[in-house]
Structure 1
């Protein structure tokens, strides 16, 4: 099976973690001959328009069985010409819920809704997106991105000390990750706990796994998410998590020990669940997140199998 993957999310030299989950998902697919067409929208928005002609040429130069688009705006070409092969689009959340300026957000959402008309299947990562896209219900499939369960697993952590490591799941520069709320929570806790913050920014995949295993707790304060990989990776390592109710986090963490979902963006609503975890003995500061991930079939292999079956159903 020959697939052309078109995406604006893929690791680049100055941002190696950018779209790493897309890269890893593509690499996990078996019996697939894949070509990747990367649109560097971070470099220039003009690249989306430049891609229209280039994608048309790519489709003429090789016989593909289908096209899989990651992030809907990467499918801008669909508004200008229709390929002869089926098109699958994975929505990653930012298209419809992104923390952009009003004009950017309005334009992107409306362009996305128009692009979806030309898809054979639309993959969503959470129920909120599915609810918003009821008019496309016959096309929708919920398939969150999986994680590499061999890499993200529980390892022996360092010896217990009086220092507690709390993780922030991204770069503080990303507005949607809500660094100000995170820091306000940490400041509130520092009067009672000796805390070191680990910021998951500019790390290799092995460094992410190692640092997750050294955490006492991961706190996510995001305004919006699709299906956050760092939450699933922390679950794979059986780490406690406290998060805002974004994306599919409430589904992921339901009935997971030592994990809590906070319904507000008030720092005081985070304090009680965070303290409950930090006051545990180190050996008790764990979750059963990995078991939940496996039950949900969100390991990389299970997701690859679901995608392969979907591909076969449309060609």
Structure 2
């Protein structure tokens, strides 16, 4: 039986054509959760000026039984440090105004990230008295909230009905700040298996004008923050090319760090071994993944990176760092290898090992099945059914 109406709150969300892909994993998840509901409403509040900051523009849109809204509200970054309750109030009021204007009815709220969406959701619930589920995706922010015993985070967790954490080892940390483990559930992110699956490698390389006679190392990630570890990836490539010439590292993504990364490549004389191809539409990423030999994500910290699951769905080995939820998924050398973060030598060693290894692609594919979005969505909906008090008949 279908549930009635779901309200999703997310502080970032892709535009209609996925030319902007912030929190694309939320959109991909909803594509499967929608099958359990009559209607799904997505609200992604935008502070004035955010469109310019993100270099994109938003218009409300809908597809299938999903309607997406981007209400605007006044906010300034200083509120995060000196007026977070005021921030929540401003954002909550913009959401409330939209709900009333559009006459939106819903029976359940699912907020992605505790701050600010979860905090907004539990305040909004004072008006609607429906269950609230929060998925906490962050790594550093989450750990800081635990270490500092952040009142807004803790109060938000106490007021909601269920918490989904993408990293299993963090469940006990919630208990350390007084949150009952009975309301906390581990569900990782996933991937769209109708998009991310195995294509013929050389056909993909031909379409992308990539060489057939090179070992291709792929990285996909925005170049906005040093936390993604591109510096160490390039240093690792510099180590590898000292004794082999048959590699090409392709970095897909754009952002403010691109000039710095390009300078590092030029300073090390790696122009023939590292190429920046800029941002690509999300729908093109499967081609790039299937064109590579190994995928590398050298992050300094992570939550539960979607590209990891997409990589496995394409039957490619994943080379990552021992951060966030990555070790939970790459729990065996059958699926990939893990390096120490901020350690270019270790990363270079793991990349070389991966390039020289005969990977069992069938084993990787079988392992990836559990992370398909349809399987993940089913687990989430089970939480809706079993752990949230409801005002309607299931």
- Number of the residue aligned with 2:367: 292
CA deviation after TM superposition for structure 1 residue 227, in Å? 1.1
Does the aligned pair in 2 maintain the 1:128–1:247 contact within 8 Å? no
- Number of the residue aligned with 1:5: 8
Q: What secondary structure is seen at the aligned counterpart in 1 of 2:371?
A: coil
Answer yes or no: is 1:87 the counterpart of 2:92. Answer: no
Q: Which moved more, 1:221-230 or 1:10-19?
A: 10-19
- Number of aligned residue pairs: give it: 306
Does the aligned pair in 2 maintain the 1:95–1:109 contact within 8 Å? no
- Number of the residue aligned with 1:138: 182
CA deviation after TM superposition for structure 1 residue 186, in Å? 1.4
Q: Which whole-Å CA distance do the structure 2 matches of 1:309 and 1:10 have between them?
A: 24
- Pick from 282, 298, 302 the counterpart of residue 225 of structure 1: 302
- Number of the residue aligned with 1:186: 237
- Number of the residue aligned with 2:57: none
CA deviation after TM superposition for structure 1 residue 28, in Å? 1.0
Q: Which whole-Å CA distance do the structure 2 matches of 1:155 and 1:48 have between them?
A: 45
Answer yes or no: is 1:36 the counterpart of 2:55. Answer: no
TM (norm. structure 1) is 0.86
Answer yes or no: is 1:149 the counterpart of 2:202. Answer: no
Q: Which whole-Å CA distance do the structure 2 matches of 1:12 and 1:174 have between them?
A: 22
Q: What secondary structure is seen at the aligned counterpart in 2 of 1:158?
A: helix
Q: Which whole-Å CA distance do the structure 1 matches of 2:360 and 2:286 have between them?
A: 15
CA deviation after TM superposition for structure 1 residue 299, in Å? 0.7
Q: Which whole-Å CA distance do the structure 2 matches of 1:114 and 1:38 have between them?
A: 22
CA deviation after TM superposition for structure 1 residue 93, in Å? 1.2
> Deviation digits for residues 114-162 of structure 1, max 9, x if unmatched?
3212110000001233232123212101111221112111111018843
Q: What secondary structure is seen at the aligned counterpart in 2 of 1:111?
A: helix
Does the aligned pair in 2 maintain the 1:181–1:265 contact within 8 Å? yes
Distance change in 2, residues 1:277/1:81 (3 Å): closer
Distance change in 2, residues 1:75/1:237 (3 Å): same
Q: Which whole-Å CA distance do the structure 1 matches of 2:235 and 2:149 have between them?
A: 32
Does the aligned pair in 1 maintain the 2:168–2:328 contact within 8 Å? no
Does the aligned pair in 2 maintain the 1:256–1:289 contact within 8 Å? no
CA deviation after TM superposition for structure 1 residue 59, in Å? 5.2
- Number of the residue aligned with 2:82: none
Larger radius of gyration: 2
- Number of the residue aligned with 1:166: 217
CA deviation after TM superposition for structure 1 residue 79, in Å? 5.0
Q: Which moved more, 1:230-239 or 1:269-278?
A: 269-278
Does the aligned pair in 1 maintain the 2:107–2:130 contact within 8 Å? yes
- Number of the residue aligned with 1:308: 381
Q: Which moved more, 1:66-75 or 1:35-44?
A: 35-44
CA deviation after TM superposition for structure 1 residue 311, in Å? 1.4
Distance change in 2, residues 1:80/1:63 (3 Å): closer
- Number of the residue aligned with 2:288: 211
TM (norm. structure 2) is 0.70
